[in-house]
Structure 1
Amino acid sequence: MPAGAWDSHMHVTSPEYPLAKSAAYEPSLHSLDHAMAFEKTIAIHNIVLVQPSIYGNDNSCLLDALREIGPTNGRGVVAFDPDDIATDTLQQWHQLGVRGVRLNFKSTNEPFNPDAVKETLRKYASIVKPIDWVIELFIDLEQLRFITDIIPDLGVKFCVAHFGAPDMKRWESYPSDASNVPGMQHLTTLLSQADNLWVKLSGHYRYDLSVDGMAGTEAITKLLLNTAKDKLIFASDWPHTRFEGLDVKPFVSRCLDWTDEHDAKNLVFRDNAKRLWDCA
């Protein structure tokens, strides 16, 4: 593991914090202490905490953890209502280490309206652009085609989570040619042509169909490395919500191998994350 590596997607949860009405599950206790104990097993000390959907726009659990870890080793991606957010609040969160807002178009079970999504992106971009925050997208790969024209023009950084949630069930010739993953051409085109898009290598176990959960992931990772290795960041997705008990270390080990083969280990595990999350 490169010195100074970052884990760019993980969550902290606790039953002590109130759930949103739309919460799909009840969390166990996954505290910052638990998180850092896990990180020690993969030799990482810097983390990006991402707001889980179960808390809606109440970022209290995440912000309390950021206060504890401090901005040297921690960054945060929050959720908020663009029609009800104060500039002072954003500045306070910025001081704690928040550098992004998460937009979840994947697990909300709401219809994807391209025009409405574009308007939402414009609204959030106008808010976060002055403070140079990232807009993180949890979105299906095939939905990217509706917004490929707007992402390069909004003047903010975007990050697509979890490989873009690929639909491997509909992957023709699985896993021999990752370019055949439905929607993958939209992602690789954006990575090649837009200088403001990043992708998280994370959450593979949610989508891969192979016995070890790696065959499709390997093909996709290598395609993305060949496309834009300076736009990829590693993330563990700990504590693997709804997949609790998963051992993610084999994935970490394979990511180290794949990136080493492409002379990209320092980039994917450290340098790209530092650039994306505004780390010293």
Structure 2
Amino acid sequence: MEFGKDREHPCLGWIPVGSWDSHMHVIDPVNYPLAKDARYTPQPHLLPEALRLERSTGISKIILVQPSIYGNDNSCLLNALHALGPHRARAVVAFDCETIDHPTLERWHQWGVRGVRVNTQSVGKHMDEEELATTLRRYADIIRPYNWVLQLYVPLEATVVLENIVPELGVKLCLDHFGSPDFGKSHHHPREKDPYPYSLPGFRSLVNLLVQGSTYVKLSAPYRLSRDGAWSDLEPVARELLSVAGMTRAVFASDWPHTRFEGLNIRPYMKKLLEWCGDDDVLVQRVFKGNAETLWGIEQ
């Protein structure tokens, strides 16, 4: 296995050459105004800054993800994608199923777009079972001819519904941020016999989805989930996901620039993730590189 000596970072350990960051944003409110209904206003976080962060961690390739604050206007993301080129980056856009057209999709695909994001968490939107199923079917029908990924930022509890919907979609699905468990809710119920983390509402359905084979999960944004800086509540979740899907369908992502958590240092989390992988170099290679290449359809 190829590990680069120039990728050795004392604060991290070994990162495979050609590693991918499967979730980061570029934000430029000056040149690309935010959506009118944006729920927060971050500082600018431009591409040169992003690349400095990636170099400092040993990451060389990135997936640009459309943040909720830009709505369906992908201009900022697409400009960054153009600047990087297809040898270094891919992208996940947002669009309205009612207005998107095939020429636009074809053009985006040529530029390196490989997914669409459906985000209910950042905007506080709730979808019941019928609405969620209908929405995902519509997006899947649109992206299926391009072999794009349907990326979801939804609560972990939604996986109970997804478990029945995903097998019929015919597309790859990727869940943001460990599947987005809520550690603030009670994990134990009078009739609940499952041990933690299976007692988390929706966790067993997440595992079932991962085992089915078309669903991936991003090991990202622990600070959005955990209630303590040591990630003690998150560690059992992470270790179980690595056990179930680490060799096939779990990918690392930084979630830079950590919107609403700006200034956070992601390196301690990366070091912790490497610790959770143990001494298994093959597992590290899959989580930081191989699984991402399969998920995003990267040509070898």
TM range (shorter): over 0.9
Letter of the 1:231 partner, please give it: R
Cα deviation digits, residues 148-198 of structure 1 (max 9, x gap): 11101111000000011111122548xx83222222111011112x21100
| Deviation at residue 108 of structure 1 after TM alignment | 2.1
Alignment-derived partner of residue 109 in structure 1: 124
Letter of the 2:106 partner, please give it: Q
State the SS of the aligned residue for 2:163. Answer: coil
Is 1:163 equivalent to 2:178 in the alignment? yes
**Structure of greater Rg:** 2
Is 1:14 equivalent to 2:64 in the alignment? no
Letter of the 2:208 partner, please give it: T
State the SS of the aligned residue for 1:99. Answer: strand
State the SS of the aligned residue for 1:100. Answer: strand
> What is the root-mean-square deviation of aligned Cα atoms in Å?
1.4
Match of 1:203 among 221, 227, 239: 221
Alignment-derived partner of residue 8 in structure 2: none
TM-score (norm 2): 0.89
Give the distance between the partners of 2:231 and 2:298, measured in 1 at CA.
Answer: 30
Match of 1:87 among 91, 102, 105: 102
Letter of the 1:223 partner, please give it: E
Is 1:223 equivalent to 2:215 in the alignment? no
Match of 2:284 among 258, 265, 268: 265
1:205–1:213 contact (8 Å) kept in structure 2: no
State the SS of the aligned residue for 1:65. Answer: helix
Give the distance between the partners of 2:53 and 2:124, measured in 1 at CA.
Answer: 31
Give the distance between the partners of 1:226 and 1:128, measured in 2 at CA.
Answer: 30
Work out the number of aligned pairs and report it: 276
Spell out the pairing of 1:111-190 with structure 2 (5 A cutoff): 111-172=126-187, 177-190=196-209
Spell out the pairing of 1:30-41 with structure 2 (5 A cutoff): 30-41=45-56
Q: After the TM superposition, which parts of structure 1 deviate over 6 Å for at least 4 consecutive aligned residues?
A: none
1:152–1:195 contact (8 Å) kept in structure 2: no
Identity %: 45
2:42–2:260 contact (8 Å) kept in structure 1: no
Unmatched runs of 5 consecutive residues or more in structure 2: 1-14, 189-194
TM-score (norm 1): 0.95
| Deviation at residue 111 of structure 1 after TM alignment | 2.7
Q: 1:248–1:171: structure 2 CA closer, same or farther, 3 Å change rule?
A: farther
Alignment-derived partner of residue 6 in structure 2: none
Unmatched runs of 5 consecutive residues or more in structure 1: none
| Deviation at residue 260 of structure 1 after TM alignment | 3.7
| Deviation at residue 215 of structure 1 after TM alignment | 1.4
Alignment-derived partner of residue 29 in structure 1: 44
Letter of the 1:249 partner, please give it: R
Letter of the 2:133 partner, please give it: K
Letter of the 1:42 partner, please give it: T
State the SS of the aligned residue for 1:264. Answer: helix
1:214–1:251 contact (8 Å) kept in structure 2: no
Does 161-170 or 213-222 show the bigger shift? 213-222
